[in-house]
């Protein structure tokens, strides 16, 4: 069996790398590392995990009203402040709940990036995968 150490990076398709870099740095809280390949890829740091924004032709999310559970989740240090930050930046919170008793637990709020990709801020109270 393979012994994983961590997630090194994940990629999110975007229609406009510059616009999405601003969103992921100013709204989500990532740190910009580099933009490469003629502006078609941006490397961001998301609390120690690399997030790569990759240019793709729109529409990115063909069915934004039915994401089927596909999303990217970011644990935040101050959940109420993170939601206030979204609201003051006019980012719509599409759904909010406090899920407990499952695999990934805690209050969470969902919102969209500029291309309709579903994102989540969570106040992670427990995770079944923690030793």
Q: What pLDDT shows up at residue 12? A: 96
Reported as type and span, the H/E element at residue 46 is strand 41-46
What's the mean pLDDT in 12-28? 97
Q: Is omega for the bond preceding 22 within 30 degrees of 0, making it cis?
A: no
pLDDT in tens, 79-118: 999 999 999 999 999 999 999 999 999 999 999 999 999 9
Top-confidence residue, 1 or 121? 121
Query: By percentage, how much of the chain surpasses pLDDT 70?
Result: 98
What is the tens place of the pLDDT at every residue in 23-79? 999 999 999 999 999 999 999 999 999 999 999 998 777 776 777 788 999 999 999
What's phi and psi for 58, nearest 5 deg? -75, 160
Residue 58 is predicted with a pLDDT of 83
pLDDT number for residue 4: 84
CB 92 within 8 A of CB 50: no
* Per-residue model confidence (pLDDT) at position 64: 65
Task: Kindly tell me if the per-residue pLDDT of 17 is higher than 70.
Answer: yes
And the tokens for 36? 């490469």
Q: Please count the residues of the chain.
A: 131
pTM: 0.92
Calculate the CA 5 to chain-centre distance.
Answer: 21
Does residue 93 contact residue 111 with C-beta atoms inside 8 Å? yes
Cα–Cα distance, 26 to 119 (Å, whole number): 14
């Amino acid at each position: 069996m393979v012994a994983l150490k961590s997630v090194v990076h994940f990629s999110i398709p975007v229609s406009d790398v510059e616009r999405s870099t601003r969103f992921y740095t100013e709204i989500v809280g990532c740190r910009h590392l580099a933009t490469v390949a003629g502006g078609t890829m941006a490397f961001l740091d998301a609390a120690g995990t690399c997030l790569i924004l990759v240019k793709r032709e729109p529409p990115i999310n063909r069915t934004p009203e039915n994401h089927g559970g596909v999303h990217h989740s970011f644990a935040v240090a101050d959940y109420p402040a993170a939601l206030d930050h979204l609201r003051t930046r006019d980012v719509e919170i599409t759904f909010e709940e406090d899920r407990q008793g499952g695999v990934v637990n805690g209050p969470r709020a969902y919102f969209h990036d500029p291309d309709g990709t579903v994102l989540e801020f969570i106040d992670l109270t427990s995770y079944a995968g923690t030793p």
